Amino acid sequence: MVGIYKTNINTKENKRLVIESLSTHFQLDNCSIDMEDIDKVLRVVATKEFDEGRILSFVKQLGFDCQPL
């Protein structure tokens, strides 16, 4: 399963925080944030299905906007 989201994550420190936090709390195969893209795209990849709502809520709890693309 792949999830692609628009975010407002705009610093390397915030990028690291979000990726490490998501990787710790969810069983993900890969997680990345494209800081060059205008939408600061968060890409989440997992072999198993995940609840997209939980990903969105989790990122928002970290203090960032997160919307599906």
Q: Identify the pLDDT of residue 68.
A: 98
Full set of structural domains in the chain with CATH: 2-68 (3.30.70.100)
Q: Rounded CA gap, 24 and 22, in Å?
A: 5
Instruction: For 13-52, write each residue's pLDDT tens digit.
Output: 999 999 999 999 999 999 999 999 999 999 999 999 999 9
Q: Identify the pLDDT of residue 3.
A: 97
pTM: 0.94
Helix 52-61, helix 12-25: angle, nearest 10: 140
Question: pLDDT class for 58, splitting at 50, 70, 90?
Answer: very high
Q: Rounded CA gap, 49 and 54, in Å?
A: 12
**Beta carbons of 31 and 22 less than 8 angstroms apart:** yes
